[in-house]
Structure 1
Amino acid sequence: MLQSHQNPVYEFVHSSDQDAPTPVHHPVIIVGAGPVGMAAGLDAAKQGIAALILDDNNTVSIGSRAVCYAKRALEVLDRLGCGQRMVDKGITWNLGKVFFRDDQVYSFNLLPEADHERPAFINLQQYYLEEYMVDQINQQETVELRWKSRVTQVEEKANHVQIQVETPEGEYTLTCDYLLVGDGANSGIRKMMGLESSGQVFQDRFLIADVVMETDFPPERWFWFDPPFHKGGSTLLHRQADNVWRIDFQLGWDADPEEEKKPENVIPRLKAMLGEETEFELEWTSVYTFQCRRMEKFRHGRLLFIGDAAHQVSPFGARGANSGIQDTDNLLWKVKLVLDGKAPDTLLDSYDEERVYAADENLLNSTRSTDFITPKSPVSNTFRNATLLLAEEYPFARTLVNSGRLSLPSVYHSSSLNTADEDEFDSNMVPGTPSTDAPVNESDWFLRVIGNNRFNGLFFAEQDGTISEANRNLLTTLANSDDIAINILIVGLTADQTLPNGMVRLADNKGLLTERFDGKPGTFYLFRPDQHIAARWRALDQQKIAAALNRATGRS
C-alpha cells in the first residue's frame, strides 16, 4: 500500500455482448489497459473508430513504473486530451547533473529552443497518467474499457480475429477487424500465438526505492558513478509528484532480490546517501534486471503488437512508455484509413517498417547506456572511469558519458511513405520528421493546430502576401476533396486578402514558424495525421501533391 496514493478500484460491469446469441463484432479490440493500450483507445476515439479495451485487472499500475515523459509523448497526449493534466501534476525538469565519486563532472540542459509549448521532460508516477486516461476514456462515446476481462484464446480468421474473453461471470466470444496487443513485456497473447521476443538480458540488478520526503533538492536528474555512499555502483535520483523521490541503486548480478527489497536493507542505503538526519518514509521497493529485446515483426496479419509487448528496453533513457505512446500515434490513423476503405491493408505494413526502425534505435541507445553504466570487464571499467575524469574539464569527453541517452522521437528517414526532397531547404524538417512547434495566432501552438487527426498542408503565401488564382484554386481543391481532404493552413496572408474556401489563416507573429520551416514564399509542407512530415516543395504542383498523398497512404 502506497502512502502518497490510493489506487482506484474499477468494478467489473456486465456487457450486453455477453448475452448476444452470436459473437459481437468490434472494428478494433485492444488488449491491455496500461498507458499504451489506453493511448491506442483514446487515439481510436479521436479517429472516429469504435474500439474496445480489455484488461484482466481492475485498477491502474501499482508502485514505481514509468517516471519520465518526454516532450514528444506529451505532445501526443495533448492530442489525446491528457497532456495538460500531466504537466499540471508532474515535475518539469530540464537540467541533469552527472557525478563521479565526490565530484560533479558536468551538467546538461535539455530545454529545447525557446517558444515550445511543452518542456523537455516531466516526471510523474505512471498511475496518475493511467487514471487521467481512464477519466478521458469514460468521456468518449466510441471507446469502452472493460475490467476483469482476460483474453484466453485468439484465432485469426480470413477476414477477422476471434477471441475468447474470461470474466467473473463466465466466458464469451468477440470478433474484430484488428486486434491491438498491448499486454506488456510478458505478453500472454504473444506466447499464445507462439511468437518470440528476443534480445539481451543484462547481468546486473538495480534496486528501486521510492521515498517520501521534504527536501530542498532541485527538480533535476542526478546520476552518480561510484559515489562515496554506494562504492562501486551507480545511483540515480529523480523527483516525482507528491514529494516522492525515486532512487535507483546498482546492486550487481549476485544480489539476492528478495533480501535487497527488505526495509532493513534498503533504509541503511538511503541514510548513507541522504544523511542520517534526513527524514523520509519508504514507500515502494522493487528489484529489476535490464532487458533489451523486441519481436522480429510487430504486425502479424490482423494482430498488431504495441508497447512492451512488441519491444522492451532498460529504464535508463525513458524509452519504454514514451516509445509505446509513439507506436499508437503511428498506428491508429493508418487503421482508420484502412477501415474506411481509403487505403489498402498494406498501409499497416508501414507501422511495422517505421516502428521496428524506432525500436532498433531505442534498443541501440539503451544497450549503449547499460554498457556504460554497468561495465562488464576491467578494461571497460577503466575506460569508463577515464572518460568521467576527462569530462570534468574537456567538453569532448562529455559526449562519451552515457548515463542514459534520453528519449527523442524517431525520424523515419527511409520510410516508404516519404516523398524525397527535390528542392533546397535550410531546415531540418525533412520528410519523416515529427513536426517542430511554434507559437501561432494570439495564444495558440502549431502542434495543437495540426493535432486534428487529419492530413494538413502548410502554405506560405507569396511574396506580396497574396495567393495567385492558380494556387488558390489548387488549395481549394485539396481542402475539399471527396477522397482525402487536406486541412490547409496559410501563413503570411495580408489582412485584406480573403481566405480561400475551407482554409485556416495562421498568424506567425514572432516569425518562428516561418524560420523553423524555412518558409520562403510559395513553400508547401504536407503533414501526416501523426504530425510527421510527408513531403515539402518550394512551389505548389497538383500532380506532385497527389502522388505524395498516395505514397503517404500506401496507395502508390
Structure 2
Amino acid sequence: MHQPQTTPRASIYYDYRVYPFETAPEQRGESRRYPVIIVGAGPIGLTTALDLARYGVPSVIVEAECQVSHGSRAIVFTRRSMEILQQVGVADRMLEKALPWRFGNSIYRGRRVFRMEAPHDDDDRFAPMNNLQQQYLEEYLLERVLQTPLIELRWGTRVTGIDNGDDGVRLELDTPEGAYGLDCDWLVAADGARSTVRQLLDLRMEGDSYSGHFVIADIRIDIDLPTERLAFFDPDWNPGNTILMHREPDGIWRLDYQLPPDETPEQALAPEALNRRIQAQLEMIGVDAPGNWTGVRSIRPAP
C-alpha cells in the first residue's frame, strides 16, 4: 500500500505544504472513463491540465507525492516559458517574485572568456531569463488548478501498471487506501526524468547524455553581484570540472558543482567536504564569509 510522505519537507527558502489524499470515486464503487489522465503534478503536468481546460477538455492529474517537488530543480525560466505560463494565468504571479536577467559569463581558469547577451528590447513582454525556484512555480500553478472545475488532482496516488489498448488506457493505481483502476482515452506522461510511465511501457528518452554528478547547494548569503549566470570552468579548487552560480530571490544563491569521477555521492555530501567546497567557491569570487551562510544540499546526475 502506497504511503507518501506526510510531514512537510525541510527547506531554507520554501515553506512546504502537505496536500491531503482524498478517496477516489472508483474506490467508492463508481465507474468512470476520463478523456485525459496526466501522471505527474510538476510544471509540465499542471500546465498541460490548465491548457486543456482552456479548450474545454477535462483531465485528472495523479501524483504519487502529497507535496510539490523536493529540493532544487528548475530555477531558470525562459521568455518562451513565461509566454506559455501567461496563457494559463500564472505569469503575473511569477513576475512578483522572479529575478529577470539577460547576461551570462563563462570563466575559464579565473579569466572571463565569453559574455552572453540575450536579445531584449522595450517591446518584449518578458525578460529573456527569469530566476525562480520550481516550488514557487508549482505553487502558483496549483492555485490556478484549484480554481478550475475541469481539473481533478489526486494526491498520494502512484501508478503501478498500464494497459495500453487500442481503444484507450487502463491504469492501475496504489494509494494509502489501497489499489484501484482508472480508464481514459489519452494518457500524458509528465512524471519526470525517471518516468514510471515510460518504464512500464519500455519507452526510452531520445537525446545525448554523459556520465557525471553535480552537487547542488542552496545557500543564504549576501553577495553583491548582479543577477547574471556565472559558469566557471577548470578552477583551481575543482580542476577539470564545472561550477554554476545563480542568484535566486530572498538572498538565496544556488551553486552547482561537478564532482571528480572517483568521488561518491556520500563523500561529496559529508559536511566537511560540502563546507570546504562552498568556501573555496566563495573565496574564488572574492567573498570572505567563513561560516557566515546557511544552506542545504542535494546531489543529482549530470543532465
TM-score, normalised to structure 2, is 0.90
**Letter aligned with residue 110 of structure 2:** D
Q: How far apart, CA to CA, are the structure 2 residues paired with 1:149 and 1:174?
A: 11
Q: How far apart, CA to CA, are the structure 2 residues paired with 1:199 and 1:70?
A: 21
**Letter aligned with residue 11 of structure 2:** L
Aligned in 2, Cα 1:255/1:214: closer, same or farther, shift over 3 Å? same
Please state whether the residue corresponding to 1:106 is helix, strand or coil: strand
Matched, 1:286 2:298: yes
Aligned counterpart, 1:164: 172
Q: How far 1:215 sits from its partner (Å)?
A: 1.7
Larger mean CA deviation between 142-151 and 168-177 belongs to 168-177
Matched, 1:129 2:137: yes
What stretches of structure 2 of length at least 5 have no aligned partner? 1-9
Aligned counterpart, 1:9: 18
Write the mapping of 1:79-158 to structure 2, written as runs, cut at 5 A: 79-158=87-166
Matched, 1:223 2:223: no
Write the mapping of 1:404-423 to structure 2, written as runs, cut at 5 A: none
CA offsets per residue over residues 336-365 of structure 1, 9 Å max, x none?
A: xxxxxxxxxxxxxxxxxxxxxxxxxxxxxx
More strand by share: 2
Q: How far 1:174 sits from its partner (Å)?
A: 1.8
Of residues 237, 243, 248, the one that matches 2:251 is 243
Q: How far apart, CA to CA, are the structure 2 residues paired with 1:87 and 1:44?
A: 24
Q: How far apart, CA to CA, are the structure 1 residues paired with 2:256 and 2:297?
A: 10
What stretches of structure 1 of length at least 5 have no aligned partner? 291-313, 315-556
Q: How far 1:42 sits from its partner (Å)?
A: 0.9
Contact 1:237 1:246 in 2 (8 A): yes
Q: How far apart, CA to CA, are the structure 1 residues paired with 2:272 and 2:280?
A: 13
TM-score, normalised to structure 1, is 0.50
Aligned counterpart, 1:187: 195
Q: How far apart, CA to CA, are the structure 2 residues paired with 1:202 and 1:153?
A: 30
Please state whether the residue corresponding to 2:135 is helix, strand or coil: helix
Contact 2:168 2:185 in 1 (8 A): yes
Please state whether the residue corresponding to 1:57 is helix, strand or coil: coil
More helix by share: 1
Aligned counterpart, 1:27: 35
Aligned-residue RMSD, C-alpha: 1.8
Aligned counterpart, 2:6: none
Q: How far 1:114 sits from its partner (Å)?
A: 3.1
Write the mapping of 1:354-369 to structure 2, written as runs, cut at 5 A: none
**Letter aligned with residue 281 of structure 1:** W
Contact 2:14 2:135 in 1 (8 A): no
Aligned counterpart, 1:50: 58
Write the mapping of 1:182-331 to structure 2, written as runs, cut at 5 A: 182-197=190-205, 200-275=208-283, 277-278=288-289, 280-290=292-302, 314=303
Write the mapping of 1:409-448 to structure 2, written as runs, cut at 5 A: none
Contact 1:64 1:284 in 2 (8 A): no
Please state whether the residue corresponding to 2:210 is helix, strand or coil: strand
CA offsets per residue over residues 409-436 of structure 1, 9 Å max, x none?
A: xxxxxxxxxxxxxxxxxxxxxxxxxxxx
Please state whether the residue corresponding to 1:203 is helix, strand or coil: coil
Contact 2:12 2:296 in 1 (8 A): no
Q: Which has the larger radius of gyration?
A: 1
Q: How far 1:190 sits from its partner (Å)?
A: 1.6
Q: Percent identity?
A: 35
Q: How far 1:66 sits from its partner (Å)?
A: 0.7
Q: How far apart, CA to CA, are the structure 2 residues paired with 1:129 and 1:283?
A: 21
CA offsets per residue over residues 379-415 of structure 1, 9 Å max, x none?
A: xxxxxxxxxxxxxxxxxxxxxxxxxxxxxxxxxxxxx
Contact 1:209 1:282 in 2 (8 A): no
Q: How far 1:195 sits from its partner (Å)?
A: 2.6
Q: How far apart, CA to CA, are the structure 1 residues paired with 2:207 and 2:112?
A: 34
**Letter aligned with residue 207 of structure 1:** V
Contact 1:55 1:150 in 2 (8 A): yes
Contact 1:201 1:289 in 2 (8 A): no
